[in-house]
Structure 1
Amino acid sequence: MDPARAAALLDFLALADRLKTVERRGLVPLPGGGARRENSAEHCWNLALIAVLLHREVAAEIDLGHALSLIAVHDLVEIEAGDTYAYDPAGRATQAERETAAAAIVFGALPVDLGRTLRALWEEFEAGATPEARFAMGCDRMQGFLQNVLSDGAAWRAHGVTRADTAPRMDPAMAVDPAFATLIGALYGRARAGGMLPE
């Protein structure tokens, strides 16, 4: 490998490491009580694990390697754009513009060929036009919902999120495949039973 390319890859990995500092609204319960905010790198790891567990549970033939590539790249723009809370209408209104600008910075830090490859993966995830992108989106939405259930709905309560507020986000995930509908439906049942998500 060319020394300049090696240096660029190492510099990009240092940049990507900053994803560990991007906090999400979801809370991670701590042993012994209390909670802390989840970061975007933890979210991506948990999402990857969900994909590994579910890729053979869905009807579509999923290329797991490709789906994991989409998952690894999908939130890198948050290094520059920050995380946008799913239930923040003002943040969602500017999300696409902020993340597109961030993509130019983040993927532009790579050698041109790799920058194009990673940007194409990010765009594929955002467009949701392939089976792997739809599967990855379903895993992504399920992970966020699961994190809220694991933390007894604390972030939902803090932001006044209701069952109806979650529908525009979760209905498309449930529509990806009956396996997602079953799992997310079970999470809704737990949220209802625990009084976490008001109707």
Structure 2
Amino acid sequence: MADAILTVKHLNKSYGHQPVLRDVSFECTQGRIVGLVGANGAGKTTIMKAILGLLSTDGEIQIAGESMQFDHHPILATVGSLIEYPSLYPYISGWDNLRLFADGPDAQAQLVGGEFLNTWLLLSLVLLIAALFKSSGAAVAVGIIGYFVLGMVNIPMIALIRKYTWLKWNPLNMFNFSAQLGLPTLSKITKLTDVQLFWGNLAYIILFLVLGLLFFRRREV
């Protein structure tokens, strides 16, 4: 049998006088998946937080053969985690989502750059929409609403691109730039290369900022 990549032995945790974990032990070998199943309050999240050193517990935790303690856990530098927040891309497979979060420091630096560019694209578009309104109050309201709405319409746009390929050049598709940097196979969905997405982001940022400035000067402040 393969060596255990994760070992949890006799884990105990109480909050005040209320026990949450009682003598929990299990192993996860390389290439296998372990699922924690239980009702709300059963201690699933507590186990995950204990493994990640987010809270102190009684017992023994080893990751890749190295002991993990609440106040000493250098092994966690090589561990990826996501607790209680489903930050997943619904239009790609589960395996591709895992690959997206499993890249090294160089890839993470690229993702940061891509997210920075996407943030500027979002801000420039929201500013343009806000500048179309003469009322300052309406402009602020539309800007705030637009910030949240633009992120939600991206998924339906992906479906339209599959049917109408020419829509790949629309600005909403450019928001996939940071995701595609971490997951090259996403180009099958965006229908654009990383280079095309990069220059597309820059072009739209400049266009939206210039148009936003022109409309802002014309409206009454």
Q: Which has the higher contact order (CA 8 A, sep 6+)?
A: 1
**TM-score scaled to structure 1, two decimals?**
0.29
Higher strand proportion (structure 1 or 2): 2
Bigger Rg over Cα: 2
TM-score, length-normalised on structure 2? 0.27
Structure ranking higher in helix proportion: 1
